[in-house]
């Protein structure tokens, strides 16, 4: 990449998706246009973790090539997601004194407070992925979002630290290097996904984001506008398919098709219907009732949501999610899932889809593209943060686009 474009690569259990984005015209609220996309089947990931490096390298290359072709550009670097049950998050607090009377708090003070909070004893086998600020306290006054310019003698900061297993981050870097892509930043999948599907209001009010993919279910809780909890459960859409294949003794491919068509079999239109299915090992075709799907898939969906609920409760966050639950990921469209989530959480539940994109968004506007589109949003924010792209009033963007050679 010549730094002209934003690139996100979502390396999932089922697919590797590369998206190329471009900053849009200044007078439109949707700043990001998708100009290229490439989707390859993912063959080297299990439960979010690389188990076949060569396979993953090939899949990355394939999706990158396709994205380059659709966009008509070459890319060299990208924002890449990381997930898996090795990812851990810790809440910590930093505190510093502001020396000098009536002195305004500076960016350096903020950095010092964050450094103080993040200087935790980290096991040797862990890497820090993110250090996120939640809120600042200036001389006991809580709830401050940005203390720069304020007067105070003591600055405290609540931070959220996300760590990942070093072997996982190293393997991911090696794969991308072999695929000839420089990693600008490794982003926790949950954070990328949240950028794409959550509204600022939801983050402020408190929301639980559940991304049910193929091999994993990612849970993130936001409160007061910041991430306060994240974890990954090694269960996802593949489990639904496998349960169905075993429960109905039909091949995996057929089970996948039935799952996508009939979902949990709870739609009254399907209720009394029978489905003809092939048996494994070339035995005779049989008829199964749609009601059987409900018996097989509903308990699995309930199990996933119960696990999520337990995690929310064990963190004491059940009263923090005032805006309810947002479910996304490829499996979120499983028919009947929303009703099951409604019953378990007794909170508003909605499906999260990529929001506020232009360009080729109609190719990637389903919940299985929440993470890849979110990586582009994250990239834009990160670049603004680092001053590569500045937050400016209207009229600015065409200038920067020119400078960057868009
Ligand atoms: N219409 C549908 N009904 C039910 N499930 C579906 C449907 N369409 C896709 N899925 C499921 O979505 C899953 C893939 O989701 P997604 O693309 O989000 O996974 P991924 O990001 O590659 O995996 P992960 O995030 O777990 O690493 C598959 O298990 C697939 O069966
Ligand atoms: Mg995913």
Cβ(156)–Cβ(142) under 8 Å?
no
Q: Clarify whether residues 131 and 209 are in a common domain.
A: no
240/305 same-domain check: yes
Same domain, 220 and 153: no
Which sign does the torsion angle of CA 166, 368, 47, 68 carry?
negative
161 and 277 within one domain:
no
* Dist CA 244 CA 256 (whole Å): 8
pTM flag (> 0.85):
yes
| Residue 195 belongs to some domain of the structure | no
Q: Domain check: are 236 and 339 in the same one?
A: yes
Torsion angle of the four alpha carbons 394, 397, 403, 404, in this order, in degrees rounded to the nearest 10: 170
Asked, for residue 357, whether it belongs to a domain, the answer is no
pLDDT at 134: 93
Q: What is the pLDDT of residue 245?
A: 96
Residue 26 pLDDT grade (very low, low, confident, very high; cuts 50, 70, 90): low
- The residue with greater pLDDT, 130 or 29, is 130
Asked if residues 305 and 342 have their Cβ atoms less than 8 Å apart, the reply is no
Number of domains present in the structure of the chain: 2
Which pLDDT band, with edges at 50, 70 and 90, does 391 fall under? very low
Whether 343 is in a domain gets the answer: yes
Answer yes or no: do 204 and 130 share one domain.
no
Q: Report yes or no on 220 lying in a domain.
A: yes
Per the domain annotation, does 11 fall within a domain?
no
The reply to whether 311 and 209 lie within a common domain is yes
Is 173 contained in some domain? Answer: no
Pairing between strand 286-289 and 45-46? unpaired
Q: How far is the CA of 14 from the centre of ligand 1 (A)?
A: 7
Q: Are residues 205 and 159 in the same domain?
A: no
Q: Whose CA is nearest to atom 5 of ligand 1?
A: 331
Q: How far is the CA of 371 from the centre of ligand 2 (A)?
A: 6
Same domain, 208 and 336: yes
- For atom 2 of ligand 1, the residue with the nearest CA is 260
| Domain span holding position 139 | 88-165
CA distance 91 to 158: 7
- Same domain for 336 and 247: yes
Mean pLDDT check: name the lowest of 66-80, 113-127, 190-204, 307-321: 113-127
Residue pLDDT, tens place only, 333-348: 999 999 999 999 999 9
Give residue ranges with CB within 6 A of ligand 1. Answer: 12-15, 42, 48, 213-216, 236-238, 241, 256, 259-260, 329-331, 333-334, 368
Report which bound ligand comes closest to the CA of 192: 2
299: CATH:
3.30.420.40
- Clarify whether residues 94 and 227 are in a common domain: no
For 274-288, how does the pLDDT look when each residue is reduced to its tens digit (9 = 90+)? 999 988 877 788 899
Q: What is the predicted pLDDT for the residue at 404?
A: 35
Given 332, 352, 372, which residue is the final one in a domain?
A: 352
pLDDT band at residue 122, thresholds of 50, 70 and 90? confident
Quick one: which atom of ligand 1 is closest to the CA of 218?
Answer: 25
pLDDT given for residue 119 in this prediction: 84
201 alpha carbon to ligand 1 midpoint, in Å?
A: 27
Which carries the bigger pLDDT value, residue 386 or residue 89?
Answer: 89
Domain identity same for 161 and 204: no
Host H or E run for residue 231 = strand 226-233
In 294-304, which positions are buried (b, 16+ CB within 10 angstroms) versus exposed (e)? bebbbebbeeb
pLDDT at residue 100 above 90?
Answer: no
CA of 304 to the centre of ligand 2 (A): 16
Rounded to an integer, the average pLDDT of 186-205 is: 97
As a whole number, the mean pLDDT across the chain is 91
Q: 312 in a domain, yes or no?
A: yes
Q: Which helix (H) or strand (E) holds 360?
A: none
**361: CA distance to ligand 1 center in Å?**
19
* Among candidate residues 352, 377, 400, the one where a domain is terminated: 352
Show which of 165, 185, 208 is a domain's final residue: 165
CATH classification of the domain holding 151: 3.30.1490.110
Ligand nearest to the CA of 374: 2
In a domain, 17, yes or no: no
């Amino acid at each position: 990449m010549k730094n002209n474009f934003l690139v996100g690569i979502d390396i999932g259990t089922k697919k590797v998706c590369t998206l190329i984005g471009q900053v849009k015209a200044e007078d439109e609220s949707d700043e990001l246009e998708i100009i290229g996309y490439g989707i390859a089947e993912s063959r080297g990931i299990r439960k979010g973790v690389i188990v076949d490096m060569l396979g993953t390298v090939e899949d990355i290359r394939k999706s990158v090539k396709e994205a380059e072709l659709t966009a008509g550009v070459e890319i060299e670097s990208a924002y890449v997601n990381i997930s898996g049950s090795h990812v851990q998050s810790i809440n910590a607090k930093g505190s510093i004194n502001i020396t000098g009377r009536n002195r305004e708090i500076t960016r350096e003070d903020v950095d010092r407070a964050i450094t103080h909070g993040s200087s935790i004893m980290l096991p040797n086998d862990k890497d820090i992925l993110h250090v996120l600020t939640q809120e600042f306290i200036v001389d006991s006054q809580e709830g401050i979002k940005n203390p720069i310019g304020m007067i105070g003698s003591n600055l405290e900061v609540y931070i959220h630290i996300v760590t990942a297993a070093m072997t996982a981050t190293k393997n991911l870097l090696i794969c991308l290097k072999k695929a000839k892509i420089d990693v600008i930043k490794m982003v926790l999948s949950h954070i990328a996904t949240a950028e794409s599907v959550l509204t600022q209001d939801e983050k402020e009010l408190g929301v639980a984001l559940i991304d049910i993919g193929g091999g994993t279910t990612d849970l993130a809780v936001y409160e007061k506008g910041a991430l306060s909890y994240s974890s990954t459960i090694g269960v996802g859409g593949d489990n639904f398919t496998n349960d169905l294949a075993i429960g109905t003794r039909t091949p995996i491919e057929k089970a996948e098709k039935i799952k996508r068509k009939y979902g949990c079999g709870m739609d009254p239109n399907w209720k009394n219907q029978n489905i003809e299915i092939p048996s494994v090992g070339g035995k005779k075709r049989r008829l199964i009732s749609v009601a059987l799907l409900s018996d097989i898939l509903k308990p699995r969906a309930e199990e996933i949501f119960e696990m999520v609920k337990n995690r929310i409760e064990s963190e004491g966050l059940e009263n923090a999610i005032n805006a309810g639950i947002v479910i996304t990921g490829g499996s979120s469209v499983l028919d009947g899932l929303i009703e099951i989530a409604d019953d378990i959480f007794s909170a508003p539940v909605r499906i999260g889809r990529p929001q506020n994109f232009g360009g080729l968004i109609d190719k990637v506007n389903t919940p299985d593209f929440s993470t890849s589109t979110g990586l582009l949003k994250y990239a834009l924010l990160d670049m603004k943060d680092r001053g590569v792209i500045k937050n400016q009033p209207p009229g600015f963007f065409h200038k920067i686009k020119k400078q960057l050679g868009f």
